[in-house]
Amino acid sequence: MKKLIGIILSAVMVMSLAACGGASQGTAQPGILVMATNAEFPPYEYHEGSRIVGIDAEIAAAIAEKMGCELVIEDIAFDSIIPEVVSAKADMGMAGMTVTEDRMQNVDFSTTYAVARQVVIVAEGSGITSLADLEGRVIGVQQGTTGDIYATDEFGDDFIERYSKGMEAVQALVQGKIDAVIIDNEPARVFVSENPGLIILDEAYADEEYAIAVRKGNTALLEAINNALEELKNDGTLDEIVSRYISTE
C-alpha cells in the first residue's frame, strides 16, 4: 500500500513538473514556470522599483497559481523571447505578443487574452494627420515588434529607425529626430500621457491579438495555460486585472 502511494505521489509530482513547463525540468528548482518577457511595455509589463508588474505579469501569476507552479519572470530583449522559448530556456513568452503567421512557424500560441492595435504617435502640429501622411517620413519602432515588421514591409528599411525600447523611440520623437512612432495602443497611451506635445492618430495602423507563446509541441503546458486562461476569463479575474491597469474613460 505504501509503495502504491509512493508511486502515485511520484506520478503526481512528475505530472505537475511537466505542467510547470519544460524549462524548469532538470533544474534544482522543480515546479517553476519561467516566463520570458520584455518589461518595457506598460501597462502589460514594466518595472516598478525592483519588481516587474503589469497586466501580463499578473495574469501569468494567476495562471501559475492555478497550475501550482512558482512563477519566475525573465526580462530580456523582445526579439529574444521566441528564441528562448524555442530553446526551452523559458517555458512561455508573454509580452503583449501579437499572434502572427510567421511566429506560428516557430511557437504555439495559447488562446488570445487581449485585443490590441498598432497606432501612430506624432508630435502635435506636425502636419501628419493620417496614415497616408507617413509616406517619406522616418518612423520609429521597437525592434522585432509587429510595428517594426509591418512598417518595414510597407515603407522600406530606409524609413525605419529601430530602438530596443518603445520609450526610446518616443524620446527620439520628442527630440525631433524622427517623425512618428508605430507602437501598440496601450503603451502608446502611457507614453503620450508622460510626454506632453504628442498625440495618437485616430486612424489605427493594424488590429491584432495577444497570446502566450510556448515551445512547439509542448501540448501539456499549452493545455494547462489554456485551461487556466479559460477559468480566469470566466471567473472575472482577467477583467479585474485589466481594469486595474487600463481605465476605460
Buried b (16+ CB within 10 A) or exposed e, 29-57: eebbbbbbbbbbbbbbbbeeeeebbbbbb
Least distance from ligand GLN to the Cβ atom of residue 109, Å: 11
Segment contacting ligand GLN by CB under 6 A, of 18-26, 96-104, 156-164, 195-203: 96-104
Q: How far is the CB of 173 from ligand GLN (least distance, A)?
A: 16
Q: Where are the alpha helices (DSSP H) in the chain?
A: 2-19, 55-67, 81-86, 101-104, 146-155, 166-174, 185-194, 219-234, 237-245
Residue from 32, 41, 73, 242 touching ligand GLN (CB under 6 A): that is 41
- The only residue of 143, 146, 185, 226 in contact with ligand GLN, by rule CB under 6 A: 146
Residue 78 makes contact with ligand GLN by CB under 6 A:
yes
Q: Which is nearer to ligand GLN, 110 or 146 (CB)?
A: 146
Residue 242 C-beta: closest distance to ligand GLN, Å: 16
CB atoms within 10 A of CB 210: 22
Give the ranges where 20-143 is alpha helix by DSSP (H).
Answer: 55-67, 81-86, 101-104
- What the block records as the C-alpha cell of 126 is 506636425
Among 38, 185, 218, 226, which residue interacts with ligand GLN (rule: CB under 6 A)?
38
In the region spanning residues 98 to 117, those forming contacts with ligand GLN, defined by CB under 6 A, are 98
Q: Does residue 213 contact residue 83 with C-beta atoms inside 8 Å? A: no
Residues near ligand GLN (CB under 6 A) are 38, 41, 78, 95-98, 142, 145-146, 184
